[in-house]
Amino acid sequence: MRLHFDGYPDNHDFWVNADSMDIFPAGWCEKNNHKLQPPKGYMPSSFNWGSYLKMSRSQAAPRNLFANKTGSSICPNAFRLGMKLEAVDRKNSSMVCVATVSDLIDSRILVHFDSWDKMYDYWADPTSPYIHPVGWCKEHGHKLTPPHSECNLSRT
């Protein structure tokens, strides 16, 4: 299906499978204490789904259409906030960097590269080939890019 962000031009639209782990029912962010980016022109602190749906004469997609949504965050495979790992930079797959688990949603973790801007964060499944335990680079003879190195200072 094609998703459109209310208040933004069509060039921000994108295609996604209906069972994507990246879409959630209306109200999910509030229920699970995650930040919602409301439509353009609305303040996050005052946005209300009920009022917005009424004003826009629209209806929320029913919760039962969202596959794999339990309604609450689950810590997958014992990952916890703040845990360290070694993660592949998906824009430069030869670079593996020191990273931190910065969020958890259902069966996924948010990978944050230490000392990098949040714009480079990405969601990963615990079985992703892009994430590795601390020590993986040393064990496999691969160079580990530490935080604040010359290699990634330009990316912050």
- In this structure, the answer to whether residues 64 and 80 fall within a common structural domain is no
Instruction: Give residues with Cβ within 8 angstroms of 94, minimum separation 6.
Output: none
Q: 100 and 83 in contact (C-beta within 8 Å)?
A: yes
| Cβ atoms within 10 Å of 144's Cβ, excluding its own | 16
Domain interval for residue 95? 76-153
**For 28-56, what is each residue's pLDDT tens digit?**
888 888 888 898 888 888 899 999 999 99
Instruction: Please give the residue that has the higher pLDDT: either 74 or 6.
Output: 6
Nearest C-alpha neighbor of 86 from the set 141, 127, 146: 146
Residue 150, pLDDT > 60, answer no
Which of 71, 96, 113 finishes a domain?
A: 71
Q: Sign (positive/negative) of CA torsion 27, 30, 34, 37?
A: positive
82 pLDDT tier (thresholds 50, 70, 90): very high
Give 99 or 71, the one with higher predicted confidence. Answer: 99
Q: What CATH number is given to the structural domain containing 41?
A: 2.30.30.140
Q: What is the pLDDT of residues 6-31, one digit of tens each?
A: 988 999 888 888 777 778 889 988 88
